[in-house]
Amino acid sequence: MPGILDGKKIAAQIKDEIRDEVKKWKEKGINPCLGVMLVGDDAASLAYAKFLKKVAAGVDIDFYLEHLPKDTSEDKVISVIDELNHNKNIHGILLLLPMPKHIDKQRVLDSILPAKDVDGVHPINRGYILSGGQCIYPATPLSCLEILERSGISLEGKHVVVVGRGETVGKPLIYMAIAKNATVTVCHSKTVNIANYTKQADILFTAVGKPGLIKRDMVKDGVVVVDAGISEVDGKIKGDVDFEEVKEVASAITPVPGGVGSLTTVIMMKNLLNGISMQQVISGGVV
């Protein structure tokens, strides 16, 4: 029988660990708090903000929402981010996307203090992924690795193939896998005959958002598959991998939904706690 990597079960384990760590911070007089910035009234972002509040409450983390009108100027948004940066009661910041068209998204993201950047998108955090310095890792790639590590699957010495080179998942995952001593091959939209490479994978990561892209004949027997792709097809969430076909030959595989996506928001909360430790170092123990 193929091994199904249960993201929900792993997320529950991490939640227990987070609650224990939050309790320790509170004993030190620090109440971990996530600050979320939302500009405008995008329905998906509003729903996600409510979901984040629920997740935070589930691990005893406080939640603060800064909701600004869609016509707020870019400079005003950055000034509010700066206030959150200097607010000692806010320990992590998440900017919800998309932003209104008149706002430079990257400029706003760059204004977040790296140690409070719970989604690991700040250029300093991204740079340290390459150099090996202390940083906050992006949540989805970290979830991909976490689900393997907690399932007893090591990347060391393995041939890892990453399908997708996007800024959110693919690119950071490449360097994070190298740091785990994997040999990494990268495939993308310009790769000729992707199957030539996916068939060689000991561990296959996908993150392109093309439902059913990876078929049974594109992988070898015993492959480990981590599917970080998400698409909606006929009202249902689908991954990049044809799960029903590939699960028959994979030694381990993540379902969609119920796999990587189950971990991402929980990993953000874990990143927040890691950020508190980083902030303590920066401030000499005063947060």
pLDDT in tens, 93-115: 999 999 999 999 999 999 999 99
Does 190 map to a domain? Answer: yes
pLDDT the model gives residue 287 = 45
pLDDT the model gives residue 235 = 87
The answer to whether residues 258 and 153 belong to one domain is yes
The answer to whether residues 256 and 150 belong to one domain is yes
pLDDT the model gives residue 131 = 85
Average pLDDT on 190-218 reads 97
The answer to whether residues 162 and 110 belong to one domain is no
Last residue of a domain, one of 99, 114, 129: 114
What does pLDDT average to over the chain? 94
The answer to whether residues 145 and 223 belong to one domain is yes
Q: How many domains does the chain have?
A: 2
Question: 224 - beta bridge partners?
Answer: 203, 252
The answer to whether residues 180 and 255 belong to one domain is yes
pLDDT in tens, 52-69: 999 999 999 999 999 999
Instruction: Write the CATH number for 229.
Output: 3.40.50.720
Three-state SS for 108? helix
Average pLDDT on 237-253 reads 96
Does 204 map to a domain? Answer: yes
Does 63 map to a domain? Answer: yes
The answer to whether residues 91 and 149 belong to one domain is no
Instruction: Write the CATH number for 66.
Output: 3.40.50.10860
pLDDT the model gives residue 1 = 42
Last residue of a domain, one of 48, 79, 114: 114
Residue whose token pair is 């509003």: 46
Residue 133 pLDDT greater than 60, yes or no: yes
Residue 253 pLDDT greater than 70, yes or no: yes
The answer to whether residues 86 and 165 belong to one domain is no
In the chain, the largest separation of any two C-alpha atoms, in whole Å, equals: 56
- Phi/psi at 240 (nearest 5 deg)? -75, -15
Residue 262 pLDDT greater than 70, yes or no: yes
Three-state SS for 65? strand
Indicate the helix (H) or strand (E) that contains 287: none
In DSSP notation, 151-194 reads: TT---TT-EEEEE---TTTHHHHHHHHHHTT-EEEEE-TT-S-T
Does 25 map to a domain? Answer: no
The answer to whether residues 233 and 162 belong to one domain is yes
The answer to whether residues 195 and 243 belong to one domain is yes
Residue 198 pLDDT greater than 80, yes or no: yes
Does 153 map to a domain? Answer: yes
- Phi/psi at 194 (nearest 5 deg)? -55, -35
Contact 19, 59 (CB under 8 A): yes
Does 147 map to a domain? Answer: yes
CA angle 148, 154, 157 (to 5 degrees): 140
Average pLDDT on 119-142 reads 92
The answer to whether residues 244 and 155 belong to one domain is yes
pLDDT in tens, 20-35: 999 999 999 999 999 9
Does 162 map to a domain? Answer: yes
The answer to whether residues 163 and 84 belong to one domain is no
Confidence of residue 44 (pLDDT cuts 50, 70, 90): very high
The answer to whether residues 212 and 157 belong to one domain is yes
Does 19 map to a domain? Answer: no
Domain range enclosing 34: 30-114
Task: Read off the tokens for 135.
Answer: 């940083």
